[in-house]
Amino acid sequence: MFRKKKKQTEKFKTSFGKLKKDSFDFKLIDNYFKNKDNSNAFQVISDKTCNDLDFEELFMFLDRTTSKVGQQYLYNNLRTIEVDPQNTEINEEIIGALSKDSDLRVTIQKELEKLSKYDVYRISTLFQKEHPKPPKWFFAVKLLTFTSLLSLILLFFDPRFLLVLIGVFVINFVIHLWNKQNLLQIIDSIPQLLRLNSIASYLHTIGKLKKIDPNLSVSIKAIGQVKNRMSFLKLETKLQGEFESIAWTFLELFKILFLLEPLLLFGILNRLNTKRQEMANIFEFVGRIDMLISIASLRKGLENFCIPEIDDNNKSIKALEIYHPLIVNCITNSLEVSKKSVLLTGSNMAGKTSFIRTIGLNLITGLSINTCFAKSFSFPLARVFSAIRISDDLLNDKSYYFEEVLTIKEMIAESENGITNFFLLDEIFKGTNTVERISAGKAVLSSLSKNGNVVFVSTHDIELTEMLSKEYELFHFSEMVNEKTVDFDYKLREGKLRNRNAIRILQINGYPDEVVEEAIAISKELDKISKPQKE
């Protein structure tokens, strides 16, 4: 036992600051988020934006939680932006304490590890979803239970009652099996709820953690009132671990004979139905503690990170050596703009889209877990919307262009609601012809940047840099074209891109001379046509 505890302690100490080695089942991880009422949140990050920013990959990098409760809580926290400076202050105080006191942290993690089984994912359904009601024929369960008990007693006086007992047992077996099949998830989650309550009770005795919810003891006590009934369902799990199949068989026969499981279960659910908020309170308390340890571990493993400066009164954006955490050896970039949006130009693969994603995910992690991947990052409080990764919706007969039109229409509506927004766009309207793309692009980008909103957009259309120069700061990424190679340094530079290397890259990659020469000639003719229009 001592060796086991020592090994467990060593495991938690050595894994602190490192990536989590685990599988990720997002159908279960996002259960709590999908069923939670987040209508009062500052923003719920949309599925569209999550897809654009590779949210699942980001989550797998960020997640260092120990329990399934903490994992679900972290996922919800990253998808749901709350504005609560007091909570942020408490969080930072606890993160600091857990980072410094490894013994306290490991003690907490040992408790949290008790909530690492898959059944724990189902706890949230006990307070988020409707509980099943007993069927109309449920009165027969009580009658059959009484008949089993009576037959067992009368058996001592008349052996013929064995036939009655066997007949009732067969009927009870069918009902017991029905109960198992239809309510298995609930049956498995109730013992985990009891374990969660016990862990919450212990963690609430730790002074630093009590600040999270000083009144949690009321919720713990309320769940404890159902403890005796729930303990019977927990007994099965305990027996499986200690006495294995023999003890489990006897217990199962006993439960079938007297239909104890359905009798107890519906009674428990009826009582738990009145304690939904109390269950949510202990879930959130334990989940938040695990999330804070996860954030401490994340920060420990980063070479550079910062706590963002978020000020709604300051409309400037300043990023120093910001980077994308999922890109290996990512090149850092710095940016400073005041009361303007950002227009990026550059060739394909130069880094435009990656930089927009870098800004987007740093905004989300800054707003949700108060952590950014940069030496410093300051920005106004704002919501985040994106139109980066758009595809045809063939099943609904929607083209790429139509999908983009609908997405950007939603952005325009959001831009007029009086709340500051960040809009992230990549190659706006690239699904249509040049003239209309530039015309519509200019009109939309001017509209989106009004009302204090900030737009980060990339484009190949140099014409837009001239049209939007008063509303947008211009930046670009460029490549270095040598005789036989094209190299990218992924560094952000001020101003618009002036070099045009697309045809030169065709030449480097062995395109026929006649194709390259014709392309150059046509480009010169097009330049002659476009110059008078600019003047």
- Residue 290 to residues 32, 60, 71, 106: CA-CA distances in angstroms? 15, 15, 8, 11
Residues 6+ apart with CB under 8 A from 45: 55, 78, 79, 80, 81, 364, 384
What is residue 247's predicted lDDT score, i.e. its pLDDT?
65
Q: Which residue has the tokens 């080695």?
A: 21
CA 348 to chain CA mean position, Å = 30
Q: How confident is the model at residue 233 (pLDDT cuts 50, 70, 90)?
A: low
Closest Cα partner for 232 from 273, 265, 258, 200? 265
Contacts of 92 (CB under 8 A, 6+ apart): 307, 370
Select the highest-mean-pLDDT range: 30-44, 378-392, 478-492: 30-44
Contact predicate 148/258, CB 8 Å? yes
pTM of the model: 0.86
pLDDT band at 431 (very low <50, low <70, confident <90, very high): confident
Contacts of 452 (CB under 8 A, 6+ apart): 315, 380, 420
Strand 421-426 to 486-488 pairing: unpaired
Task: Give the N- to C-terminal CA distance of the chain in Å, as an integer.
Answer: 83
Quick one: how many helices (H) and strands (E) in the chain?
A: 23, 14
- Provide the token pair at 174: 């069918």
239 pLDDT band, cuts 50/70/90, is very low
Give the distance, in angstroms, between the CA of residue 257 and the centroid of all CA atoms in the same chain. Answer: 45
Closest to 60 measured CA to CA, from 50, 46, 48: 50
Asked if residue 432 has pLDDT above 60, the reply is yes
Stretch 104-128: mean pLDDT: 95
Each residue of 170-207: b (16+ CB within 10 Å) or e?
eebeebbeebeeebeebbbbbbbbbbbbbbbbebbeee
Q: Are 78 and 364 in contact (CB under 8 A)?
A: yes
Q: What is the mean pLDDT of residues 470-497?
A: 84
What whole-number distance in Å separates Cα of residue 103 and Cα of residue 97?
A: 11
Q: So what's the pLDDT on residue 298?
A: 98
Asked if the model's pLDDT at residue 228 lies above 90, the reply is: no
Q: Which residue has the higher pLDDT, 288 or 141?
A: 288
Domains of the chain: 2-300 (no CATH), 309-499 (3.40.50.300)
The pLDDT value recorded for residue 394 is 45
Is 245 exposed, middle or buried (CB count within 10 Å of its CB: 0-12, 13-18, 19+)? exposed
pLDDT digits (tens, 9 = 90+) for 217-226: 999 999 988 7
Which comes out higher in pLDDT, residue 512 or 242?
512
The letter for the amino acid at 3 is R
Q: Is the pLDDT of residue 533 over 70?
A: no
DSSP E strands, 309-387? 309-310, 316-322, 333-338, 341-345, 376-379, 383-387
Poorest-pLDDT segment among 152-166, 430-444, 449-463? 152-166
Q: Which residues of 442-465 are buried (b: 16+ CB within 10 A; e: fewer)?
A: bebbbbbbeeebbbbbbbbbebbb
How much is the average pLDDT of 152-165?
84
Burial of 38 (0-12, 13-18, 19+ CB in 10 A): middle
Pairing of strands 316-322, 376-379: antiparallel
410 vs 430: CA distance, rounded Å: 18
pLDDT, average across residues 196-212: 95
Q: Tell me, what's the pLDDT at 409?
A: 94
Tens-digit pLDDT profile for residues 332-383: 999 999 989 999 998 778 889 999 999 999 999 999 999 999 999 999 999 9
Over residues 514-523, mean pLDDT = 80
Q: Is the pLDDT at 109 greater than 70, yes or no?
A: yes
CA distance 100 to 366: 22
Which tens digit of pLDDT belongs to each residue from 261-297? 777 777 778 888 899 999 999 999 999 999 999 999 9
The residue ranking higher by pLDDT, 525 or 228, is 525
Q: What angle do CA 400, 403, 409 make, to 5 degrees?
A: 140
User: Rounded to an integer, what is the distance from CA 414 to the centroid of its chain?
Assistant: 23
Q: What is the mean pLDDT of residues 199-222?
A: 95
197, pLDDT greater than 90: yes
Summarised one tens digit per residue, pLDDT across range 161-186 is 888 888 888 888 887 777 766 666 67
Q: Where residue 240 falls among pLDDT bands split at 50, 70, 90?
A: very low
Cβ neighbors of 159 (< 8 A, separation 6 or more) are none
Give 81-107 pLDDT, tens digit per residue.
999 999 999 999 999 999 999 999 999
Tens of pLDDT along 301-335? 999 999 999 987 778 999 999 999 999 999 999 99
Cβ proximity of 388 and 455 under 8 Å: no
Q: Residue 343's beta-bridge partner residues? A: 457, 474
